[in-house]
Amino acid sequence: MNSRDLQKHCELNENSLLLMKQAMEELGLSARAYDKVRRVARTIADLDQSPSVEEHHIAEAIQYRLLDRRF
């Protein structure tokens, strides 16, 4: 999924954007990591059969990113 597809299929609502902004600031996530979190969140939303990426999908994707950093 390229950047154009991310914008089309992973549009974030206001609460999700705030959560991502907070994660970027507190965890020092790069722009590349931002896109990776969005991709994972879209996958989680798909598995949840959700038509949109919700805040809890973003939160779960951020948790996976933190696990990835540890190991």
How many structural domains does the chain have?
1
Question: What's the domain range around 57?
Answer: 3-70
pTM across the whole model: 0.85
Q: Using CA atoms, how far apart are residues 66 and 69, in angstroms rounded to an integer? A: 5
Please check whether residue 22 is in contact with residue 61, taking contact to mean a CB–CB distance below 8 angstroms: no
The CATH number of the domain where 43 resides is what?
1.10.8
Q: How confident is the model at residue 6, as a pLDDT? A: 80
Please check whether residue 20 is in contact with residue 58, taking contact to mean a CB–CB distance below 8 angstroms: yes
Digit-coded pLDDT (tens) for 14-60: 999 999 999 999 998 888 999 999 999 999 999 999 999 999 999 99
